[in-house]
Structure 1
Amino acid sequence: MTESTPGPGSRPRAALAMSPDAASAVLDTESLAALAALCDLAPLPVLDDLTTPRARTLLADVDLLVTGWGCPPLDADVLRAAPRLRAVVHTAGSVRGHVTDACWERGVEVSSAAAANAVPVAEYTLAMILLTGKRVLETARAYRASRTRPDWLRTPRTVGNHRRTVGVLSASLIGRRVVDLLRPHDVGVLLYDPFVGEREARELGVERVGLAELFRRSDTVSVHAPLLPETRGLVGRELIDSMRPDAVLINTARGAVVDQDALADAALAGRIRAVLDVTDPEVLPPEHPLWQCDNVLLTPHLAGSQGNEWRRLADLALAEIARWASGDGFLHPVRREGLAFLA
Structure 2
Amino acid sequence: MTRRPETLLVLGRDTMRLQFGEAELARLRATASLGEPLFTDELGSASVRARLAEVEVLVTSWGCPPLGEALLRDAPKLRAVLHAAGSVRGHVGAALFDRGLLVTTAAGANAEPVAQYTLGAILWAFKKVPFLAADARAFREDWRYRERHGELTGRDRTVVLVGFSRIGQRVTELLVRLALARVLVVDPVVDPARIRAAGAEPATLAESLPLADVLSLHAPSLPDTRRMIGAAELAALPPGAVLINTARGALVDTAALERACAAGLHAILDVTEPEPLPSTSPLYDLPTVVLTPHIAGSLGSETRRMTAEALDELERYAAGEPPRDPVTRQALAVQA
Which TM-score band applies after superposition, normalised by the shorter structure?
Answer: over 0.9
Residue in 2 that maps onto 1:260: 254
Alpha-carbon shift at residue 142 of structure 1 (Å): 2.8
The aligned length equals: 335
| RMSD over equivalenced CA pairs, Å | 1.8
Q: Which runs of 4+ in 1 moved over 4 A?
A: 151-157
**Counterpart AA for 2:131:** E
Alignment match of 2:231 (pick from 229, 237, 261): 237
Q: For residues 36 and 45 of structure 1, what CA distance do their matches in structure 2 show?
A: 10
Residue in 2 that maps onto 1:103: 96
Alignment match of 1:158 (pick from 136, 151, 156): 151
Deviations 1:25-72 (A, max 9, x none): 111111011111100123456211111112101111100000000100
Q: For residues 296 and 154 of structure 1, what CA distance do their matches in structure 2 show?
A: 17
* Paired residues of 2:114 and 2:246 also in contact (CA < 8 A): yes
Residue in 1 that maps onto 2:313: 320
Q: For residues 60 and 188 of structure 1, what CA distance do their matches in structure 2 show?
A: 55
Q: 1:340 to 1:52 in 2, by over 3 A?
A: same
* Paired residues of 2:114 and 2:167 also in contact (CA < 8 A): yes
Pairs within 5 Å for 1:187-266: 187-266=181-260
Residue in 2 that maps onto 1:67: 60
SS in 1 for 2:96: helix
Deviations 1:127-177 (A, max 9, x none): 000111111112222334444383799798711211111000011111001
Residue in 1 that maps onto 2:179: 185
Alpha-carbon shift at residue 308 of structure 1 (Å): 2.3
Alpha-carbon shift at residue 198 of structure 1 (Å): 3.5
Alpha-carbon shift at residue 314 of structure 1 (Å): 1.3
Deviations 1:91-116 (A, max 9, x none): 00000011100100111101110000
Any unmatched runs of 5+ in structure 2?
A: none
* Paired residues of 2:87 and 2:107 also in contact (CA < 8 A): yes
Alpha-carbon shift at residue 253 of structure 1 (Å): 1.0
Tell whether 2:110 aligns with 1:129.
no
Alignment match of 1:116 (pick from 101, 109, 112): 109
SS in 2 for 1:280: coil
Residue in 2 that maps onto 1:92: 85
SS in 1 for 2:317: helix
Any unmatched runs of 5+ in structure 1?
A: 1-7
Q: For residues 254 and 155 of structure 1, what CA distance do their matches in structure 2 show?
A: 29
SS in 2 for 1:225: coil
Residue in 1 that maps onto 2:330: 337
Q: For residues 229 and 113 of structure 2, what CA distance do their matches in structure 1 show?
A: 24
* Paired residues of 2:18 and 2:301 also in contact (CA < 8 A): no
Alignment match of 1:139 (pick from 106, 110, 132): 132
Alpha-carbon shift at residue 230 of structure 1 (Å): 0.8
TM-score, normalised relative to structure 1: 0.93
* Paired residues of 1:16 and 1:42 also in contact (CA < 8 A): no
Q: For residues 289 and 136 of structure 1, what CA distance do their matches in structure 2 show?
A: 21
Alignment match of 2:302 (pick from 289, 296, 309): 309
SS in 2 for 1:334: coil
Q: For residues 170 and 31 of structure 2, what CA distance do their matches in structure 1 show?
A: 30
**Counterpart AA for 1:231:** T
Deviations 1:78-102 (A, max 9, x none): 1100001000110000000111001
**Counterpart AA for 1:264:** E
Alignment match of 1:287 (pick from 280, 288, 293): 280
